[in-house]
Amino acid sequence: MALIVHKYGGTSMGSVERIKNVARRVAKWHAAGHQIVVVPSAMSGETNRLIGLAKEIQEQPDPRELDMIASTGEQVSVGLLAMALKSLGLDARSYTGWQVPVRTDASYTKARIASIDDARIRGDLDQGRVVIVAGFQGIDDDNNITTLGRGGSDTSAVAVAAALKASECLIYTDVDGVYTTDPRVVPEARRLRVVSFEEMLEMASLGSKILQIRSVEFAGKYRVPTRVLSSLTDPLMPLDEEMQSGTLITFEEDEKMESAVVSGIAFSRDEAKVTVLAVPDKPGIAYSILGPIAAANIDVDVIVQNQSVAGTTDFSFTVHRNEFQKTIDVLNRDVVTQVGAREVVADPKVAKVSIVGIGMRSHVGVASLMFKTLSEEGINIQMISTSEIKTSVIMDDKYMELAVRALHKAFGLDQTQA
Amino acid sequence: MALIVHKYGGTSMGSVERIKNVARRVAKWHAAGHQIVVVPSAMSGETNRLIGLAKEIQEQPDPRELDMIASTGEQVSVGLLAMALKSLGLDARSYTGWQVPVRTDASYTKARIASIDDARIRGDLDQGRVVIVAGFQGIDDDNNITTLGRGGSDTSAVAVAAALKASECLIYTDVDGVYTTDPRVVPEARRLRVVSFEEMLEMASLGSKILQIRSVEFAGKYRVPTRVLSSLTDPLMPLDEEMQSGTLITFEEDEKMESAVVSGIAFSRDEAKVTVLAVPDKPGIAYSILGPIAAANIDVDVIVQNQSVAGTTDFSFTVHRNEFQKTIDVLNRDVVTQVGAREVVADPKVAKVSIVGIGMRSHVGVASLMFKTLSEEGINIQMISTSEIKTSVIMDDKYMELAVRALHKAFGLDQTQA
How many of the other CB atoms lie within 10 Å of CB of A417? 13
Say what the pLDDT of residue B8 is: 97
Q: A97 pLDDT exceeds 50?
A: yes
> Stretch B56-75: mean pLDDT, rounded?
97
- Are the beta carbons of A61 and B83 separated by less than 8 Å? yes
ipTM of the predicted structure?
0.83
For residue A82, give the chain B residue with the closest CA.
Answer: B65
B418 located within any domain: no
Tell me which residue in B16, B75, B87 faces A72 most closely, judged by beta carbons.
B75
Say how many CB pairs under 8 Å bridge A and B. Answer: 101
Asked if residue B173 lies in contact with residue B231, where contact means CB atoms within 8 angstroms, the answer is yes
> Domain count of chain A?
2
- Asked if residue A241 and residue A292 are part of one domain, the reply reads no
Say what the pLDDT of residue B368 is: 87
Q: B216 pLDDT exceeds 80?
A: yes
Asked if residue A271 lies in contact with residue A321, where contact means CB atoms within 8 angstroms, the answer is yes
B41 located within any domain: yes
- Asked if residue A302 and residue A163 are part of one domain, the reply reads no
> Stretch A354-365: mean pLDDT, rounded?
83
Where do the DSSP E strands lie in B41-167? 92-95, 102-104, 113-116, 130-133, 137-139, 145-147
Asked if residue A374 lies in contact with residue A406, where contact means CB atoms within 8 angstroms, the answer is yes
- Asked if residue A295 and residue A202 are part of one domain, the reply reads no
- Are the beta carbons of B78 and A86 separated by less than 8 Å? no
**Domain limit, last residue, from A217, A250, A283:** A250
The answer, for A79 touching chain B at a CB cutoff of 8 Å, is yes
**Domain limit, last residue, from B221, B250, B279:** B250
Q: A258 pLDDT exceeds 60?
A: no
Cα B239–chain centre separation: 27
Kindly report the nearest CA distance between residue B144 and chain A, in angstroms.
8
Residues from chain A contacting residue B61 (CB–CB below 8 Å): 83
Residues from chain B contacting residue A96 (CB–CB below 8 Å): 68, 145
Strand pairing class (B264-280; B343-356): antiparallel
A125 located within any domain: yes
More confident residue, B47 or A311: B47
- Report the percent of chain B where pLDDT is more than 90: 65
- Are the beta carbons of B57 and A98 separated by less than 8 Å? no
- Are the beta carbons of A20 and B57 separated by less than 8 Å? yes
Summarised one tens digit per residue, pLDDT across range A383-416 is: 888 888 889 999 999 999 999 999 999 999 987 6
Q: What is the CATH number of the domain that holds A186?
A: 3.40.1160.10
- Asked if residue B151 and residue B234 are part of one domain, the reply reads yes
A416 located within any domain: no
Q: Which residues contact A380 (CB under 8 A, 6 or more apart)?
A: A395, A396
B16 located within any domain: yes
Q: Which amino acid is at B271?
A: E
More confident residue, B129 or A295: B129
| Measured distance CA(B125)–CA(A390) in Å, rounded | 55
> Stretch B379-401: mean pLDDT, rounded?
90
- Are the beta carbons of A86 and B98 separated by less than 8 Å? no
> Stretch B196-209: mean pLDDT, rounded?
80
A148 located within any domain: yes
CA neighbor of B76 nearest in space, from A186, A91, A26, A70:
A70
Q: B395 pLDDT exceeds 80?
A: yes
Query: B344 is in which domain, residue-wise?
Result: 264-410
Summarised one tens digit per residue, pLDDT across range A199-219 is: 888 887 776 677 888 888 889
Work out the mean pLDDT of chain A and round it to a whole number.
91
Summarised one tens digit per residue, pLDDT across range A113-149 is: 999 999 999 999 999 999 999 999 999 999 999 999 8
Say what the pLDDT of residue A259 is: 57
- Asked if residue B70 and residue B166 are part of one domain, the reply reads yes
How many of the other CB atoms lie within 10 Å of CB of A197? 22
> Stretch B136-164: mean pLDDT, rounded?
95
> Stretch B30-54: mean pLDDT, rounded?
96
- Asked if residue A332 and residue A185 are part of one domain, the reply reads no
The answer, for A72 touching chain B at a CB cutoff of 8 Å, is yes
> Stretch B194-198: mean pLDDT, rounded?
89
Q: A418 pLDDT exceeds 50?
A: no
Residues from chain B contacting residue A98 (CB–CB below 8 Å): 98
- Report the percent of chain A where pLDDT is more than 90: 65
Asked if residue B136 lies in contact with residue B150, where contact means CB atoms within 8 angstroms, the answer is no
- Asked if residue B167 and residue B123 are part of one domain, the reply reads yes
Say what the pLDDT of residue B418 is: 37
Say what the pLDDT of residue A260 is: 65
Say what the pLDDT of residue B255 is: 52
Strand pairing class (B35-40; B145-147): unpaired
Q: B305 pLDDT exceeds 70?
A: yes
CA neighbor of B208 nearest in space, from B156, B249, B267, B260:
B267
B323 located within any domain: yes
Under the banding of pLDDT at 50, 70 and 90, the label for residue B172 is: very high
For residue B61, give the chain A residue with the closest CA.
Answer: A83
On the 0-12 / 13-18 / 19+ scale of CB atoms within 10 A, A204 is: buried
Peptide bond into B101 cis (omega under 30): yes
Residues from chain B contacting residue A61 (CB–CB below 8 Å): 83
Which strands form B226-230's sheet, in the order they lie side by side?
Answer: B92-95, B130-133, B35-40, B3-8, B168-173, B226-230, B247-250, B194-196
Under the banding of pLDDT at 50, 70 and 90, the label for residue A309 is: confident
Summarised one tens digit per residue, pLDDT across range A12-55 is: 999 999 999 999 999 999 999 999 999 999 999 999 999 999 99
On the 0-12 / 13-18 / 19+ scale of CB atoms within 10 A, A322 is: exposed
Kindly list the distances between the CA atom of residue B22 and the CA atoms of A336, B11, B31, B127, in Å, as whole numbers in the listed order: 49, 11, 14, 22
Cα Rg of chain A (Å, integer):
24
- Are the beta carbons of B66 and A79 separated by less than 8 Å? yes
- Asked if residue A134 and residue A31 are part of one domain, the reply reads yes
> Stretch A225-243: mean pLDDT, rounded?
93
- Asked if residue B326 and residue B245 are part of one domain, the reply reads no
The answer, for A93 touching chain B at a CB cutoff of 8 Å, is yes
Say what the pLDDT of residue A416 is: 60
Cα B262–chain centre separation: 20
Strand pairing class (B35-40; B92-95): unpaired
**Domain limit, last residue, from B219, B250, B281:** B250
Tell me which residue in A54, A82, A87 faces B83 most closely, judged by beta carbons.
A54
A74 is in an annotated binding site: yes
> Across-strand partners of B113?
B104
The answer, for B93 touching chain A at a CB cutoff of 8 Å, is yes
> Stretch B133-160: mean pLDDT, rounded?
95
For residue A61, give the chain B residue with the closest CA.
Answer: B83
φ, ψ for residue A227 (rounded to 5)?
Answer: -125, 135
DSSP string over A248-289: EEES-TTSS----S--EEEEEEEEEEEEEEEEE--TTHHHHH
- Asked if residue A364 and residue A298 are part of one domain, the reply reads yes
More confident residue, A259 or B230: B230
Say what the pLDDT of residue B202 is: 86
- Asked if residue A288 and residue A239 are part of one domain, the reply reads no
> Across-strand partners of B352?
B268, B394
Say what the pLDDT of residue B149 is: 87
Under the banding of pLDDT at 50, 70 and 90, the label for residue B254 is: low
- Asked if residue A96 and residue A49 are part of one domain, the reply reads yes
> Stretch B27-42: mean pLDDT, rounded?
97
Q: What is the CATH number of the domain that holds B375?
A: 3.30.2130.10
| Measured distance CA(A286)–CA(A297) in Å, rounded | 17
Under the banding of pLDDT at 50, 70 and 90, the label for residue B175 is: confident
Say what the pLDDT of residue B385 is: 85
- Are the beta carbons of B66 and A54 separated by less than 8 Å? no
> Stretch A261-276: mean pLDDT, rounded?
90
A316 located within any domain: yes
